[in-house]
Amino acid sequence: MRLSTWLPLTLLIVTSNASTLPLNCVPNNGTMTTPSFGTTDAVFTACAQITINNSPSAVYDVLLDFSDYPAWNTFVYSVDLPSNVSSTEDVYVGMPMTFHSSGLLLGINSTSDERITFLEPDAVPSFVAWRYDEGALVGVLMNAEHVTVLEDLGDGTTNCVSWETYYGAGALLTLTLKANLQTEFQNQVSDLKGRVEGLAT
C-alpha cells in the first residue's frame, strides 16, 4: 500500500526571488540551489541547458501542458493528473501528479509522485518548479526539487535551464543513477526544444 503525503498549501508556497536562480548549469557537476530547499544538505544536481527558438511564454506553455507529454517527451512519457486538470490553465501550486519515465534503469520504467511548488510565468526570468513527493517519509530520507528557468535572450530565443537537486541521505541511493539522469535531462530539453519549435512552424 502506498502512503500519500499531503502538506498544507501554506507550506508549499515559499517566497523566491527569480533573480537569484542560476541561468546556467554549474560547471563540473556542482550542486545548484532550488527555490524551496536552497543548497543545505544538497547531495547532487542533474542539469541540462538549451537555447530554444521561441519566447519564454511559448516554452512555458508547452512545459506545463502535462497531458501532452506523450506526444514529445521521451523521458517522462506520461503524467497522471488530478481529474480537475485538463489544460495548462488548470495547473496550480500544490497540484499532485505522477510522472511515468523511462531510461533511468535498463528495460524498466519508473514512476515518481511530484507536487507543483512554483508557477512564475511573469517573473524575470520566468520559472516553474515541482518537488518529489513520494510517501510518508518524504523530507525525512530525501528531498528533491526540479526547476526550469526560462530566460528571454532578447532576440526571439529562450535560454532554458532545467535541473533537479537531490537532498538528504536517501539521495545517496539516487546518486547511483546520476549519469542516467543527466542523459535523460538532456534528452528532455532537446525534446522540449523540438516540440516548441515544431509548434511554431
Instruction: Classify 30-200 by CATH class.
Output: alpha beta
Strands, DSSP E only, in the chain?
42-52, 76-80, 96-105, 108-120, 126-132, 143-152, 158-167
Q: Which of 3-17, 54-68, 154-168 has the lowest mean pLDDT?
A: 3-17
CA R_g for the chain: 16
Distance CA 88, CA 9 (A): 19
CA distances from 133 to 88, 97, 114, 130, 143 (A): 21, 9, 5, 9, 8
Q: Which of 39-53, 60-74, 93-107, 177-191 has the lowest mean pLDDT?
A: 93-107
Report the pLDDT value the prediction gives residue 17, as an integer from 0 to 100.
Answer: 66
Who's near 69: CB < 8 A, 6+ residues apart? 76, 77, 78, 79
SS3 193: helix
* pLDDT tens for each residue of 32-46: 999 999 999 999 999
**What are the residue ranges spanned by the domains of the chain?**
30-200
Mean pLDDT, residues 62-69: 98
Compute the CA torsion angle 27, 30, 35, 39 (nearest 10 deg).
-150
Which three cell numbers mark 158? 529562450
When pLDDT is cut at 50, 70 and 90, the band that residue 103 belongs to is confident
Report the pLDDT value the prediction gives residue 16, as an integer from 0 to 100.
Answer: 54
Which three cell numbers mark 30? 556542482
Per the model's pLDDT, the better-predicted residue between 35 and 104 turns out to be 35
Q: Hey, how many other C-beta atoms are within 10 angstroms of the C-beta on 110?
A: 12
pTM above 0.75, yes or no: yes
Q: What are phi and psi of 148, to 5 degrees?
A: -125, 120
84 pLDDT higher than 70: yes
* pLDDT tens for each residue of 108-142: 899 999 999 999 999 999 999 999 986 544 556 78
Report the pLDDT value the prediction gives residue 107, as an integer from 0 to 100.
Answer: 77
